[in-house]
């Protein structure tokens, strides 16, 4: 059995490790959120650039409103994701302090479902655009 001071050091080390893991997980949420926001901006901006190019060439631009809306949804989704990550981080931090950690449940299911739906919507839109240009 460890003496009391050694047990406190080991417990403190485990506590620090748990909190650092929680912070790394939060930073992964932030990284993912930033990528989604940038991706949404690129989708929206690319659609606007194509419309401006068509006007510059004297052509009647096709509507790109759906691309702009998908980009906007992606940006708002990225913002919502970082908020969800912060909520999860704070909840986990409080649970670690109390010594009773509960794994994430609903939020991970929700993020997965929304990601799948948005991905399918983007794929459907690309197929629609490809067929309309043919």
- Each residue's pLDDT, cut to its tens digit, for the chain (134 residues) gives 555 566 666 677 788 899 899 899 999 999 999 999 998 888 888 877 777 777 788 877 666 567 888 888 899 999 999 999 999 999 999 999 998 888 878 878 888 898 899 889 888 887 877 677 65
Structural domain for 22, as ranges: 4-133
Instruction: Let me know: does 102 contact 95? Beta carbons within 8 Å.
Output: yes
Q: How far apart are CA 98 and CA 15, in angstroms?
A: 11
Rounded CA-CA distance 113/115 in Å is 5
**Structural domain count of the chain:** 1
DSSP three-state, residue 7: helix
Encoding tokens for residue 115?
A: 């990601």
- Total-model pTM: 0.72
């Amino acid at each position: 059995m460890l003496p009391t001071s050694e047990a406190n050091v080991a417990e403190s080390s485990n506590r620090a490790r748990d909190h650092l893991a929680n912070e790394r997980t939060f930073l992964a949420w932030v990284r993912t959120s930033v990528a989604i926001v940038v991706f949404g901006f690129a989708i929206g901006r690319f659609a606007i650039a194509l419309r401006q190019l068509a006007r510059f060439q004297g052509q009647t631009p096709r509507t790109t409103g759906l691309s702009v809306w998908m980009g906007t949804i992606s940006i708002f989704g990225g913002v919502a994701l970082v908020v969800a990550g912060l909520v999860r981080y704070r909840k986990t931090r409080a649970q670690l302090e109390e010594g009773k950690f509960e794994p994430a449940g609903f939020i991970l299911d929700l993020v997965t479902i929304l990601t799948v739906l948005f991905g399918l919507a983007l794929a459907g839109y690309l197929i629609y655009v490809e067929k309309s240009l043919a």
